[in-house]
Chains A and B, each alone.
Chain A
């Protein structure tokens, strides 16, 4: 079973600041997905990265997949209160997604 660690677990920043969230594993992934979940709602798929070294941008969010496909990062530029949520990067283990604790991001206005 592939395991994936996220860091930091909690992050609280002021509106306008930048932040980076990391996913790390000792295993190689064929692909990796990032989700954001708001309280009381289901996770929303943000992006899927597939190719080692791949960089994808979604407005102010930049996702990078490590060259060796063992890690990934999410960078948010000029964070806004609407970016607040739980960020998840589950590991794909054959038939299921295995979730870690995720990173809880709070952006203060």
Chain B
């Protein structure tokens, strides 16, 4: 069974631009969660999508948004990029909603904002 895939793997953007990241979950998994990882803050929860609806949201500004499609694929969008948005963005898929289900991570998208 194929794992979680994320595209693109690397991205360089300029401050003020916007970016869209994509995540394809493991086949059969209906929940996708997004995390931001930085050296200073570690892994922080952004949001979770289940059945095309955002179920939970972390403590991030409204510039961070996402959506989920009927095939469970998810996208994350960051608008008006800031230098501090440079990070590894990880998505994780699981069978169901909530952390009681095992979460499987993708390889991440490395975003660099200049």
Which residues of chain A have a CB within 8 Å of any CB of chain B?
A: 30-31, 33, 35, 40-45, 48, 88, 90, 92-102
Instruction: Encode contact with A along B42-65: 1 for CB under 8 Å, 0 otherwise.
Output: 111100100000011010000000
Query: In the complex, are the beta carbons of A41 and B108 less than 8 A apart?
Result: yes
CB-CB under 8 A from A93, the residues of chain B are 99
Interface residues of B in 43-89 (CB under 8 A from A): 43-45, 48, 55-56, 58, 88
Contact of A97 among B6, B103, B110 (CB under 8 A): B103
Query: In the complex, are the beta carbons of A95 and B99 less than 8 A apart?
Result: yes
Task: Determine the main DSSP class of A at the interface with B.
Answer: loop
Contact of B45 among A43, A97, A100 (CB under 8 A): A97
CB-CB under 8 A from B42, the residues of chain A are 99-102
Q: In the complex where A42-B108, A102-B42 touch, is A31 in contact with B103 (Cβ < 8 A)?
A: no
Smallest CB gap from B44: residue in A: A99
Smallest CB gap from B56: residue in A: A95
CB-CB under 8 A from A100, the residues of chain B are 42
CA distance A93 to B44 in the complex (A): 13
Interface residues of B in 76-114 (CB under 8 A from A): 88, 90, 92, 97-100, 102-108, 110
